Structure formats: C-alpha cells, structure tokens
C-alpha cells in the first residue's frame, strides 16, 4: 500500500471512530441512521447493536450504582458524627479493690470502650462483676493505654480494679 493509501485508511478510521463516538452519545440517531458511505449494511447493523448494548449496560450500571448509593445512605454519605460522647472515668483509690464503672446507657449500635489510663504504672483489671474484678485470674487485664470495646446495654455491667492505688480507666461511648 502506498503512503497515500495509508493516509486514506487512517482518515477513514478516524472518521468511523468519530461517528461511533457521536452515536454512542446519541443512540436513537444510530437506530434511525443508514450506513455511511463505505460501510456495508451488515457492519452498520452490528455497530448499531453494539452501541445499543453498551447503552443498555450503562443504564443497568447507573441503576446498580443508584441502589448502592441508596443502601449506603446517600451519595457521598459517610457515618454521621455523634452529637455527644459520654465519658465516665474511674479512679481506684485502693489497689486490689473493685470499683463500678458509672452507669451509662449504651446505644444499640455503639461500643462501650474502656481504656486504661496512659499514666498507669500497673495493670487495670476489668470484669463484669465486683468479685471477679478483684481476682487477677478472673478478670481481663489492661496494660497502660490499652483499650477494649464492649458490646453491652449499660456500662454499670462492668467493674475495674487497679494493681496500684490511684490508677484507673477512662471510658467513652458515642451517644446519638
């Protein structure tokens, strides 16, 4: 093929590409249009069918995306920030003695977090009753600055004791 033939082929390809791009954006025009010069009817029908299939897939994709957005709570949605936090804290004035965490109601879908103070020198012992909180082998030990999230209805289900006097834990729960 001569250089002039290659240039013609490139121009023809670019022209067909431009036509396809336009028809993808306007599928009703593709259905109504007749094959352009140099394109046989079967090829044109195949291109038209491809364009319509792409449009159908785009419509299905848009529907799927809108359903996902609805499930997620809206376009660009994120979890809403809680309006308030409840932060009961417990300091254990006597080592080895159990103290209750102040009673707070925990919203259904929130965790109650108990965190040993970062300034503690020893362990904090967490349990769901007064007796177990004072027994090292029956409680959950928290290192200084360690936290644990609990699924519970109220915070008064938990007690802590400290290895050393004057140490404790901070607690936090999101409120709606």
- Condensed to tens digits (0 to 9), the pLDDT of residues 130-173 reads 999 999 899 999 999 999 999 888 888 899 999 999 999 999 88
Distance CA 31, CA 63 (A): 23
Residue 80: pLDDT over 90? no
Domains and CATH numbers, the chain: 3-72 (no CATH), 84-175 (2.60.120)
Are 117 and 169 in contact by the 8 Å Cβ rule? The answer is: yes
Three-class SS string for the chain?
CCHHHHHHHHHHHHHHHHHHHHHHHCHHHHHHCCCCCCCCHHHHHHHHHHHHHHHHHHHHHHHHHHHHHHHHCCCCCCCCCCCEEECCEEEECCCCCCEECCCCECCCCCCEEEEECCCCCCCEEEECCHHHHCCHHHCEEECCCCEEEECCCEHHHCEEEECCCCEEEEEEEEEC
Q: What is the pLDDT of residues 18-27, one digit of tens each?
A: 666 666 666 6
Which phi-psi region, left, alpha or beta, contains residue 74 (left: φ > 0; alpha: ψ -120 to 50)? left
User: What's the pLDDT at 133?
Assistant: 94
Nearest 5°: phi and psi at 79? -60, 135
- Report the share of the chain in percent with pLDDT over 70: 74
Which of 98, 101, 74, 64 has its CA nearest to residue 86? 101
Bridge partners, 159 (sequence order): 100, 127
Q: Which residue has the higher pLDDT, 90 or 31?
A: 90
pTM score of the predicted model: 0.54
Tell me how far apart the alpha carbons of residues 159 and 90 are, in angstroms, rounded to a whole number.
9
């Amino acid at each position: 093929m001569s250089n002039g033939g290659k240039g013609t082929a490139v121009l023809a390809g670019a022209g067909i590409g431009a036509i396809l791009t336009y028809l993808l954006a306007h599928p009703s025009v593709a259905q109504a249009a007749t094959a352009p010069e140099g394109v046989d009817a079967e090829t044109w029908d195949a291109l038209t069918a491809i364009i319509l299939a792409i449009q159908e897939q785009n419509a299905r994709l848009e529907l799927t995306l809108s359903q996902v957005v609805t499930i997620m709570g809206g376009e660009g949605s994120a979890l809403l920030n809680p309006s308030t936090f409840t932060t009961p804290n417990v300091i254990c004035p006597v080592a080895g003695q159990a103290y209750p965490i102040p009673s707070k109601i925990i919203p259904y879908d929130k965790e109650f977090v108990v965190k040993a103070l970062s300034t503690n020198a020893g362990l904090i012992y967490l349990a769901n009753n007064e007796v177990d909180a004072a027994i090292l082998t029956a409680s959950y030990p928290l290192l200084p600055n360690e936290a644990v999230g609990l699924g519970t209805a109220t915070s008064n289900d938990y007690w802590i004791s400290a290895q050393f006097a004057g140490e404790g834990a901070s607690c936090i729960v999101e409120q709606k």
